[in-house]
């Protein structure tokens, strides 16, 4: 009670009619939205698995004494149809869990911005410093486990073998490349990273990730930046290269016989993982990823079923008065 009279509280009642009216249309629309990108926009894709074909190299890499020795393997495959347009090359990993909490935070964002920081106070442990006190650059479990296979693509045309030109820059997000990752300021990168050492599983220091392009080495290397954006699932793929559309490949990849030549550096047998390479195009809805479409279809089906159930219960009980209606 107030000076101006009684205060009236309005408590909306949840009625079955509006709930069913909202659920049923959503149940019809969502499955259509989920299936539209897959029916209208058909993508070309090829994804050969090279885990078994490179098993000898995998065993070779499990011996840590071979860390500085090269192991090569090849995977042959055939494109029965042309892949027209922009063609993207991805590497895919299975059974690699990047979503573990301690793994996801094992990095130093301040270090990746090129700042001189004490990484002992970061979440990078145990990949912070060596026993002699030398700091790791970059530190952390994410950087230490970076995918480092080298993959080249060759086109077997008649009796000649043509290497497919691939673009290794311009593959990461602009904000990552220009905002979140920066190299330390110095007159050259080797001096900028003086006093640091590569992570234990790396074959070269960070400032030599791309010796042919100083704008794509160090912390701003595209392959490194893409790897540092961790996946939410154990099976995932990351963009590796784009086909440069020149000469024989001006329109994309022509049908024919191809070969992946792989310098094998990333063993997966210890955690029962698998590796594959994906060649794919993209459309207006993005790359080939069925998760969103499946989520729409499942949500729409659930909404439709819930709408029918609520409607059936309402029709059956509409003539009966409940306890709340008698009040």
Q: How many angstroms separate the CA atoms of 198 and 135, rounded?
A: 9
- pLDDT for 25 equals 74
Number of separate domains in the chain: 2
Query: Are 251 and 318 in a shared domain?
Result: no
Determine contact, residues 207/193, Cβ cutoff 8 Å. Answer: yes
pLDDT per residue, tens digit, the chain (327 aa), is 555 566 655 556 566 667 666 766 766 676 666 665 555 445 566 788 898 889 899 888 888 788 788 999 999 999 999 999 899 999 999 999 999 999 999 999 999 999 989 888 889 999 999 999 999 999 999 999 999 999 999 999 888 999 999 999 999 999 999 999 999 998 889 999 999 999 999 999 999 999 889 899 999 999 999 999 999 999 999 999 999 999 899 999 999 999 999 999 998 988 889 999 999 987 655 555 566 677 777 777 887 787 778 777 777 776 555 544 555
Least Cα distance to 181 among 128, 137, 219, 133 occurs for 219
Query: Are 23 and 140 in a shared domain?
Result: no
Query: Are 64 and 54 in a shared domain?
Result: yes
Residue 39 CB contacts under 8 Å (≥ 6 apart), including other chains: none
Query: Are 241 and 314 in a shared domain?
Result: no
Query: Are 36 and 184 in a shared domain?
Result: no
- pLDDT for 46 equals 75
Query: Are 138 and 200 in a shared domain?
Result: yes
Residue 238 C-alpha from the chain's centroid: 4
Query: Are 253 and 319 in a shared domain?
Result: no
- pLDDT for 79 equals 92
- pLDDT for 254 equals 93
Query: Are 97 and 177 in a shared domain?
Result: yes
pLDDT 10s digits, 266-320: 989 888 899 999 999 876 555 555 666 777 777 778 877 877 787 777 777 765 5
From residue 104, how far is each of 93, 220, 235, 310 by CA, in Å? Answer: 17, 19, 16, 42
- pLDDT for 40 equals 46
Query: Are 154 and 302 in a shared domain?
Result: no
Query: Are 66 and 13 in a shared domain?
Result: no
User: Final residue of a domain: which of 243, 262, 281?
Assistant: 281
Query: Are 200 and 312 in a shared domain?
Result: no
Write out the residue range of the structural domain in which residue 5 sits: 1-43+285-327
Q: How many angstroms separate the CA atoms of 192 and 183, rounded?
A: 8
Query: Are 232 and 171 in a shared domain?
Result: yes
């Amino acid at each position: 009670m107030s000076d101006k009279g009684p205060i009236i509280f309005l408590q909306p009642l949840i009625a079955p009619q509006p709930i069913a009216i909202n659920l049923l249309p959503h149940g019809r629309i969502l499955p259509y939205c989920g299936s539209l990108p897959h029916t209208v926009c058909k993508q070309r894709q090829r994804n050969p698995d090279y885990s078994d074909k490179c098993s000898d190299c995998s065993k070779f890499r499990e011996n840590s004494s071979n860390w500085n020795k090269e192991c090569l393997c090849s995977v042959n495959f055939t494109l029965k149809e042309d892949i027209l347009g922009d063609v993207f090359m991805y590497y895919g990993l299975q059974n690699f869990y990047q979503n573990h909490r301690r793994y996801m935070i094992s990095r130093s964002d301040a270090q990746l911005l090129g700042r001189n920081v004490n990484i002992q106070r970061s979440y990078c442990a145990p990949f912070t410093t060596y026993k002699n006190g030398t700091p790791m650059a970059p530190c952390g479990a994410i950087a230490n486990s970076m995918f480092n296979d080298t993959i080249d693509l060759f086109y077997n045309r008649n009796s000649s073998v043509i290497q497919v030109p691939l673009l290794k820059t311009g593959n990461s997000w602009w904000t990552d490349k220009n905002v979140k990752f920066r190299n330390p300021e110095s007159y050259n990168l080797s001096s900028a990273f003086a006093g640091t050492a590569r992570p234990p599983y790396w074959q070269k220091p960070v400032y030599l990730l791309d010796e042919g392009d100083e704008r794509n080495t160090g912390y701003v290397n595209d392959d490194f930046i893409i790897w540092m954006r961790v996946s939410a699932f154990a099976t995932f793929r990351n963009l590796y290269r784009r086909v440069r559309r020149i000469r024989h490949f001006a329109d994309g990849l022509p049908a024919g016989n191809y070969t992946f030549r792989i310098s094998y550096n990333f063993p997966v047998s210890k955690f029962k993982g698998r590796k594959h390479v994906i060649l794919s195009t993209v459309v207006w809805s993005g790359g080939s990823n069925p998760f969103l479409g499946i989520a729409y279809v499942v949500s729409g089906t659930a909404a439709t079923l819930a709408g029918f159930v609520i409607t059936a219960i309402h029709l059956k009980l509409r003539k009966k008065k409940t306890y709340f209606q008698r009040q």
